[in-house]
């Protein structure tokens, strides 16, 4: 092609770029287990399906390059993608070391992988196939968010079934022996090549000086100074109803920080553990949360804080969670299948030291869960979504990331919930392929949390919660992880 379609990397994407080049983060993955109902050659169906999917979505044949003429990072198509370079096949007795622990070899290999920017023959994602049934999609965060990973499997499942249904009897019996297959060639596939859509982190994210000043004040001004306007407001505008401490979640002002582990580069070795809630029990638990008008995420947060209280004691904790922006009306013109459509949310919550361990759903303090749920809602519907994202313009250089080294991790807990994946537009009774289970997890990195929970649910596999921490904190967090698992299992058994 004489002129390659390209666009500038947005300031928000550049944050992710800088985070990776400074070795503060590696990647995330979303895996899916495929039920091959007709026993067809998985490798052959996968190769055909991948080519179809790649040609439909420019982001899947894109990498980051430096445009020397304008001295900017740009997104541009790669020259080629080969099946043998993109997909790795492995055989393992099981994907798990034991029922509740991901295979350490597989997971560490993935989390330690870094994608090479400027590579002409590889995009910013790869696949690892375990036992010709579990397909692990792992990728660079600069172009993909967690929902993109889940969407990849949904789109691939459609391609699997379309390819399988279109085959005649002779094709259906073929076995792919050679992995040296071109999935994409920039010259040969020029007719399919399309420009990558603009990032949402552009025109929508205007810098608001007043908003930025207010945030910087709240983060860096001394506590005594911040209390002055609060007291003045309370004096001139007294609340007609004084909220009791029992019915509030007011932070104490003393923040828990784990100083036993300080942020460092390249810290990508993690401990993983899985807690599974089977479909029937998940259904019961969801029914109970709905009857109490709360989300399951709020309940998981509540259980997490109780599991951590032996560490946090009487101090507040910061819980971070990504927020999907896909539901915003402003995004109507965008294809939100793949890309970055997120912002970061956080809650500072007081200790739950006076709350007993909820071994049954009737022992859950639903008032507290409701308060957590209300606080989550406030952040989710925040009209300042794009204003807060625009603040990232202040923190997208290498110096900002280096300054975070040798400090405690920025939060105690992070919860990322990709939600329930139903694949409802696929006829389950007629499908040749169906997804039976999914997992989601990611690198903690140098800006992450001491303890993270990555959640995804499916109709056939139920809910999988991947608990992740850093080996140096293994002993310290062992009790909390075991307690969390015990409480979730007891809640689901007694739902």
Per-residue model confidence as pLDDT tens digits over 294-312: 999 999 999 999 999 989 9
The CATH number of the structural domain formed by 7-192 is: 3.30.559.10
- Residue intervals of the chain classified under CATH 3.30.559.10 are 7-192
Three-state DSSP state, 434: strand
Q: What is the pLDDT of residue 241?
A: 38
What's the mean pLDDT when you consider all of the chain?
85
Question: How sure is the predictor about 423, in pLDDT bands with cuts at 50, 70 and 90?
Answer: very high
Specify the pLDDT at position 388. Answer: 64
Helices (H), 381-412: 385-390, 398-402
- Please name which of 51, 55, 45 lies closest in space to residue 86, comparing C-alpha atoms: 51
CA 279, CA 285: separation in Å to the nearest integer?
10
**167 or 160, which is more confident:** 160
Q: Which residue spans of the chain are classified as CATH 3.30.559.30?
A: 246-383+397-493
Could you tell me which CATH number the domain at 246-383+397-493 has? Answer: 3.30.559.30
Tell me the range of 355-369, 376-390, 455-469 where mean pLDDT is highest.
455-469
Compute how many other C-beta atoms are within 10 angstroms of the C-beta atom of residue 312: 22
Contacts of 60 (CB under 8 A, 6+ apart): 53, 54, 123, 125, 338
Mean pLDDT of the region 38-42: 93
Q: Tell whether the model's pLDDT for residue 53 goes beyond 90.
A: yes
Q: Is the Cα dihedral 385, 386, 391, 393 positive or negative? A: positive
pLDDT level of residue 446 (50, 70, 90 thresholds): confident
Give 474 or 153, the one with higher predicted confidence: 153
More confident residue, 238 or 177: 177
Q: What is the pLDDT of residue 210?
A: 56
Residue 216 predicted with pLDDT over 80? no
DSSP-derived pairing of the beta strands 411-421 and 449-458: parallel
pTM of structure: 0.89
Least confident of 210-214, 397-401, 424-428, 486-490: 210-214
Percent above pLDDT 90 for the chain: 52
């Amino acid at each position: 092609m004489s002129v390659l379609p390209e666009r500038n990397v947005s300031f928000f994407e550049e944050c992710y770029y800088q985070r990776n080049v400074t070795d503060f983060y590696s990647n995330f993955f979303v895996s899916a287990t495929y039920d091959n109902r007709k026993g067809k050659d998985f490798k052959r169906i996968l190769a055909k399906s991948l080519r179809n999917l790649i040609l439909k979505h420019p982001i899947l044949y894109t990498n980051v390059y430096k445009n020397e003429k304008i001295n900017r990072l740009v997104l541009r198509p790669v020259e080629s993608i080969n099946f043998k370079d993109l997909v790795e096949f492995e055989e393992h007795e099981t994907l798990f070391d034991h029922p509740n622990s991901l295979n350490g070899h597989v997971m560490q290999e993935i989390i330690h992988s870094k994608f090479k920017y400027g590579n002409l023959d590889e995009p910013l994602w790869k696949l690892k196939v375990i036992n010709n049934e579990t397909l692990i999609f792992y990728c660079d965060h600069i172009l993909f968010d967690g929902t993109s990973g889940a969407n990849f499997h949904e789109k691939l499942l459609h391609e699997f079934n379309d390819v399988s249904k279109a085959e005649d009897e002779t094709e259906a019996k073929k076995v792919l022996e050679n992995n040296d297959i071109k999935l994409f060639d920039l010259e040969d596939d020029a007719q399919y090549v399309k420009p990558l859509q603009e990032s949402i982190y552009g025109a929508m994210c205007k810098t608001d000086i007043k908003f930025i000043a207010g945030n910087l004040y709240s983060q860096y001004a001394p506590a005594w100074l911040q209390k002055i306007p609060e007291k003045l407001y309370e004096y001139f505008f007294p609340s007609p109803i004084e909220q009791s401490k029992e019915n509030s979640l007011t932070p104490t002002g003393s923040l828990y920080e784990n100083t036993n582990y300080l942020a460092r580069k390249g810290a990508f070795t993690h401990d993983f553990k899985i807690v599974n809630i089977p479909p029937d029990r998940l259904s019961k638990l969801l029914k109970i949360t709905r009857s109490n008008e709360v989300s399951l995420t709020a309940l998981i947060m509540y259980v997490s804080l109780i599991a951590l209280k032996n560490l946090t004691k009487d101090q507040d904790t910061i819980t971070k969670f990504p927020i999907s922006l896909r539901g915003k009306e402003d995004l109507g013109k965008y294809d939100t299948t793949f890309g970055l459509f997120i912002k970061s949310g956080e809650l500072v919550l007081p200790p739950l030291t006076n709350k007993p361990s909820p071994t049954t759903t009737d022992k859950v303090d639903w008032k507290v869960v409701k308060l957590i749920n209300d606080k989550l809602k406030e952040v989710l519907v925040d009209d300042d979504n794009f204003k807060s994202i625009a603040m990232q313009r202040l923190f997208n250089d290498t110096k900002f990331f280096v300054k975070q080294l040798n400090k405690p991790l920025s939060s105690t807990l992070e919860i990322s919930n990709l939600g329930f994946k139903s694949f409802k537009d696929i006829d389950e009774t007629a499908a040749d392929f169906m997804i039976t289970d999914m997992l989601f997890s990611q690198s903690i990195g140098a800006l992450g949390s001491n303890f993270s929970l990555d959640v995804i649910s499916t109709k056939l596999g139920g809910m999988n919660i991947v608990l992740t921490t850093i080996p140096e904190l293994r002993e310290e967090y062992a009790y909390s992880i075991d307690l969390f698992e015990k409480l979730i299992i007891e809640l689901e058994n007694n739902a």
